[in-house]
Each structure stands twice: as C-alpha cells, then as structure tokens.
Amino acid sequence: MTSSPARAAELRLAYALLFITPAMWSVNYLVARWAPGLIAPHALALGRWCVAALLLGFFARHELLARRHAIRAEWRQFIVLGALGMWVCGAFVYIGARSTTAINIGLLYAAAPVFIAVASGLFLRDRLKPVQWAGVALALAGVLHILLRGDWDALAQLRINPGDAWVAVAVLCWAAYSLLLRAWPSAFGPLARLALTAVGGIVVLLPFTVWEALAWLPSTLDWRSIGLVLAAALIPGAGAYAAYSFMQRALGPARVGMVLYLGPLYSAAIAWAVLGERIEWFHGIGALLILPGIWLSTRK
C-alpha cells in the first residue's frame, strides 16, 4: 500500500498537472502556426511521431518484448488507429493551421468529447439522456458559430474557411480514434499500445510525406524545423500523454475531465500572448456554447 506522505505527494503532482497539461497540449497549436515556411505538414507529423514512438517504445520495451506475439494479431488495428490519430489528427491540423488560428484550433478540438459521446451512443449503445442531447446541440452550435465566424448567413452559401474545415475533419477523426480505442480490445497497456499505434501512423504517413516533398511542399532541415519536431513530440505528444495517464490513475477520470474545459482557455491565452492572435467576439460566443455543451453531454 502506498504510504500516506507518498500518496499526498502524488496527489499534489496530479492536481498541479491538471493545470499544466492543457498548456502542454496547446504547444501543438503554436507549433502548427510556426511551421509554415519551415517544415511541411506531413513532414512535421512524421517527425513528431517518429520521435514519440522511439521514446514511448523505450519506456514500454519490456511489455513490447514480452507480448510481441500479439502484435501480429493486432497490426491492422494499429494501422487504422495510426491513420486516424497520427496522420489525420497530425498532418490535417498542420495543414489547417496554415489558414486558420490557434484559437480556432483549440476551440474546435474542445468539442471532441461531444462527438465521442454521440458516437458512443450510436455505436457502443451508451444511451444519451435528453440533457446530454441538449449539451450536444449546444456544443455543435458553438462549433458552427466558430466555423462560420459568427456569420450564419454564410451557412447558406457554404462559406467556411478551408483551414477550419481541415481541423474539423481532424476533430471528427479524433472522435473515431477514441471510439475505436474503446471498442477494440488489446493485449497491450496504454503506453505500449500508443507506441505501436504511432508506428502504424508512421507507416501511413511515409508515402504522403514523400509525395508532399516531391510534388507540393519541400521542407527545410535546420535547427528551427528540428526544434518544432522535438517540441511537438516531447510536449504535447509523449509528455501530455504521460501526464494524462498519471492523472487518471491518481485522481480518476471524472476529475481529470476538468482539462477539457481548460484546454480552449489555455489555447486562446497562449495564442494571444505568443502569436498576437486577436480573440474575436465569435470566439467568446462559441466558447460559451461549447463548454457548457461538453459538461452536459459528458455528465453521467
């Protein structure tokens, strides 16, 4: 049994990480906005997950060796999960960031738990109550308000910023990724499974990265592009994931859900302070719809 002083120290660290982890995730939005002109989207996503896979694989090496026979049984799952979580949720966000803001990315990603709740109700038979459906409606209204930048007349003419559309596709794929993680059983623990999923993502990313470099957007290999890759891999990648796993073990999933509400606030504050992005009125209205929507749609 864990001693009382050790447990108290663990709880202090976990509560501190509640406020640190959203900032770690927000670093990815900064990287996405800094990348244009330095490194192409697929090259950035590939570099990020190569570094993260090596790091995660090192810490999970004993489990990976002990259960290596199970990799053959699950390799198709790792390819699908890698395509959703590392290719689409990586490169698509970086493509979108070339024409949208970090604030928009953070707010749109904040709605991911709502789409996960809807998908769970449709495919995993987690029945949603009327109050949860009300939360879904609120959050979707907030997402649309941001996508339309407050101009609802644009809906009739389908005028949506391409960058926001790329990010919206990534958010939907993140919901699918999260749903499949729950639906597909695995012989591996979270860390080893993420390492193998990252390898699956690398396999999918490789041909797109080669095409991108030859036909669309070559990358510059220098200390700045390498720094962006390392920042994306270590802080919002392996670092944030490890922190999230630690918090879930120490505090339980209900309390850790608090980071969902802090995420868009942190991304807006960091984008304003570091990138000089303006917080517009439609961001505020979108957040006022999305955040209560998350709370209502995910409450039990």
Q: Check residues 255 and 201 and name the one with the higher pLDDT.
A: 201
Contact of 113 with 294, CB cutoff 8 Å: yes
Lowest mean pLDDT among 23-37, 70-84, 132-146: 132-146
pLDDT tens, position by position, 89-138: 999 999 999 999 898 898 888 788 778 778 877 776 767 788 888 888 88
Q: Which helix (H) or strand (E) holds 128?
A: none
Burial of 12: CB neighbours in 10 Å, binned 0-12, 13-18, 19+: exposed
pLDDT in tens, 135-148: 888 888 888 888 77
pTM: 0.84
**Amino acid 154: pLDDT:** 67
Give the tens place of pLDDT for each residue, 150-178: 887 766 666 678 999 999 999 999 888 88
pLDDT for residue 1 is more than 60: no
Nearest to 21 by CA among 203, 282, 265, 278: 265
Identify the pLDDT of residue 157. Answer: 63
